[in-house]
Amino acid sequence: MKVGVEVGGTFTDLVALDGGKVRVIKVPSTPHSPDIGVMNAMREAGIDFSAVEDFAHGSTVATNAVLERKGGHVAFIATHGFRDILFLQRHDRKRIYDLHYRKPEPPVQRRDCFEAAERVLSDGTVEQALDEALFVAEVLPRLRDGGYDAVAICLINAYKNPAHEQRLGALLAEALPGVVVTCSHQVAREFREYERGSTAALSAFVQPVIAGYLGRLTESMAQHGFAGRFSVMQSNGGRLPADAMRENAISALFSGPAAGVVGAVRQVLRSGYANVITFDMGGTSSDVCLVQDGNPTLAPETEIDGLPVRTPVLDIVTVGAGGGSLIWIDDGGMLRVGPESAGASPGPACYGRGGTRPTITDAHVVLGTVRPEAFLGGQMHIDVDAAYVSFKALAAHFGLPVEAVAHNAVRLANANIVRAIQLVSTQRGRDPRDYVLVPFGGAGPMQAAQIAEELGIRKVVAPPNPGVTSAYGLLASDFIKYETMTDRAQVDDATCGRLRERFAAMRADLAQQFRDMGFGAGLVFSYAVEMRYVGQAFEVPLALDDESLAAVDRPGLEARFIEAHERIYFHADKSGRPIEVVALRAGATLPTEFVSAVAAAPADSRRSGAHESPLYDGKGWSACRRQTVASLASAPSALPGPAVLEDYTTTVVVPAGWAASVDAQSNLILAHGA
């Protein structure tokens, strides 16, 4: 048996594959202790823990630890003169017209920042040796008395020569047993000391939380008889064994969104859709990602709460427009949606758990999109009256009917999501009309067709059981590890030879790491070179594989860079301007065993018959045909809109001008003009 459990902001989702049998469960998340929600899902699904051989997990624990500032008590050690690097940050302003703007708060207090007397130059040369005696005499006693859970070390130019960081790490490990020590060269061996320092500090901050959480969950499952493989999803779209993740917690920041992308792509590829834009609308946010030729775009950096994290991640753009996003009025009297969310507790007003403020889920209840008897198969109580009451103050403010305000709120959420999709497509040289929109999450299919129409996309493909696609993605994902290092050099005739030498060394290191994790042969390697024109501030990544790396020469490398630069920025200098390599990234992938598709749940005879019920479309109430997704699978022809399709994990809206059908791979196809 294989089990994937993904902890979201509102629901904890489970997919269990037991031979040809599939179990799908959604239970409310337990934000105060997410491991309780995991165990609740396992029990609700009737899982025999001793029969589980592969347990894959993704959660928001690391993310919440940063956002809520509930991580470990961290000390930060920098080179003498660089103590304030986490506070100086960069000179940009995220909100240029905000007179009260303040830089993001690092996870470390200034009083917890210390210095080490040493200096390494940018070429790796040691200008000033590490003064160990001074560190042991003056800094170590303060660290020992500070009650710290973790220590982050970021010395200037340690990416080029990490010897001093390694020595400090050894001293601290010996003097402070039980305290997590994170060296910057271990988590981000790249230049730009602020980004490297921020990554090290955040990694140290979340490490004790992740280690504690995984430890509790491992113990609870073992007590119930689990003895299989336990792996955790990373932000890069691959998973690693739980023991390895306890030492690299920063890579799990966005495990849930990454798992969703992987699950959606694996499923729609079965139907031949390789160029897609994934759209995951859950309880607290919407995440979008562009996928070209079946491969999600990988970004070298992300940020959380305004703080940079230098680690490879799937290039996902997130906006605060989820099913639980609150609908409110700003200081100018305008209607707004998100980013604040009702979360799992109290949740939307219609959940009847004490929530009184309106959310997007409440809006869909008011509009008739969501019927109480169909929500989660009728297993969860939905209070329609509470949803209406939550909108009354907004309706009075605008002098509009409750239904009109709810409809406008959904349109506003759609506009926010459209802008997010434009960020990953048009603003990066891709036309969204050349792609298929793939919605999932509990709320995604409800709004997907409307969003596609605004973008000019004519086909929407929703995977089966879209509300648990992230949990399925946990099982479908491969085991992946990346290594990145800065290696600046202007492109010349010897460049390609140096690249092959550097990548060979990185490849050998990754292979050894997989052997240390207990994996054998079968690794697939990938490479990327980050390049720029000399004088530019940021880089363009070029992807390579074993074949292209072996064959590439200087003219080919320069031509590929110019083509990529022109595609992204709509211009390129073809006059022979010098180009330089800045960083190298190597990835090792251990492909997972084939995971069967999670077919749509069988039709419930009590509610599978087609019928009509009213739906508000912005102009008024009109009759709308309704049936289950499963019953559509056996229909002889496509179902024209307007219609609503109901599923255990979601509801799908088919607007007028669209038609719905289910293909041989159980994917739901919405086609415009069909």
CATH of the domain at 526: 3.30.1490
485 part of a folded domain: yes
644 part of a folded domain: no
Q: Which of 556, 590, 624 marks a domain boundary?
A: 590
Q: Which of 375, 409, 443 marks a domain boundary?
A: 409
114 part of a folded domain: yes
Q: Please write the tens of the pLDDT for every residue from 100-141.
A: 889 999 999 999 999 999 999 999 999 999 999 999 999 999
Residue 606 in this model has a pLDDT that exceeds 50:
no
641 part of a folded domain: no
* Alpha-helical segments (H) within 224-322: 242-245, 255-269
CA 117 – CA 350 distance, rounded (Å): 59
- Please tell me whether residues 400 and 486 are part of one structural domain: no
- Lowest pLDDT segment from 317-331, 407-421, 588-602: 588-602
Structure tokens that stand for 165 in this block: 């960081």
- Please tell me whether residues 397 and 514 are part of one structural domain: no
Residue 71 in this model has a pLDDT that exceeds 70:
yes
Q: Which of 409, 434, 469 marks a domain boundary?
A: 409
Mean pLDDT, rounded, of the chain: 89
- Please tell me whether residues 483 and 403 are part of one structural domain: no
Query: What is the DSSP pairing of strand 307-309 with strand 302-304?
Result: antiparallel
20 part of a folded domain: no
Greater model confidence, 498 or 318:
498
Distance of CA 536 to the CA centre of its chain: 29
- Please tell me whether residues 107 and 188 are part of one structural domain: yes
Q: Which residues, 6+ apart, have CB-to-CB distance to 125 below 8 Å?
A: 161
Q: Please write the tens of the pLDDT for every residue from 608-654.
A: 456 778 888 888 888 888 888 888 887 878 899 899 998 888 889 99
Residue 378 in this model has a pLDDT that exceeds 70:
no
Q: How many domains does the chain have?
A: 3
What is the pLDDT, as a whole number, of residue 379?
Answer: 66
What is the pLDDT, as a whole number, of residue 305?
Answer: 85
> For the chain, what's the residue count?
674
Residue 520 in this model has a pLDDT that exceeds 90:
no
Q: Which residues, 6+ apart, have CB-to-CB distance to 215 below 8 Å?
A: 246
Residue 313 in this model has a pLDDT that exceeds 70:
yes
What is the pLDDT, as a whole number, of residue 605?
Answer: 39
- Please tell me whether residues 394 and 520 are part of one structural domain: no
**Peptide bond just before 439 cis, omega within 30 deg:** no
What domain range is 198 assigned to?
69-209
- Please tell me whether residues 484 and 389 are part of one structural domain: no
Mean pLDDT, range 190-198, rounded to an integer: 94
- Please tell me whether residues 185 and 88 are part of one structural domain: yes
> Which band of pLDDT confidence, cut at 50, 70 and 90, is reported for residue 553?
very high
What is the pLDDT, as a whole number, of residue 377?
Answer: 63
The whole-model pTM stands at 0.87
Q: Please write the tens of the pLDDT for every residue from 227-286.
A: 999 999 999 999 999 988 877 788 888 888 899 999 999 999 999 999 999 999 887 788
Instruction: Report which of 492, 479, 447 is spatially closest to residue 466, judged by C-alpha positions.
Output: 447
Q: Please write the tens of the pLDDT for every residue from 215-226.
A: 999 999 999 999
What proportion of the chain, given as a percentage, has pLDDT over 70? 97
What is the pLDDT, as a whole number, of residue 166?
Answer: 96
Asked if 667 and 267 touch (Cβ cutoff 8 Å), the reply is yes
What is the pLDDT, as a whole number, of residue 603?
Answer: 45
394 part of a folded domain: yes
CA 111 – CA 107 distance, rounded (Å): 12
Residue matched to tokens 């080029």: 160
Asked if 63 and 305 touch (Cβ cutoff 8 Å), the reply is no
24 part of a folded domain: no
Would you tell me the crossing angle of helices 402-424 and 444-455 to the nearest 10 degrees?
60
Mean pLDDT, range 195-223, rounded to an integer: 93
- Please tell me whether residues 393 and 521 are part of one structural domain: no
Residue 585 in this model has a pLDDT that exceeds 70:
yes
21 part of a folded domain: no
Q: Please write the tens of the pLDDT for every residue from 384-438.
A: 899 999 999 999 999 999 999 999 999 999 999 999 999 888 888 889 999 999 9
- Please tell me whether residues 77 and 177 are part of one structural domain: yes
CA 145 – CA 545 distance, rounded (Å): 50
First to last CA, the chain: 40
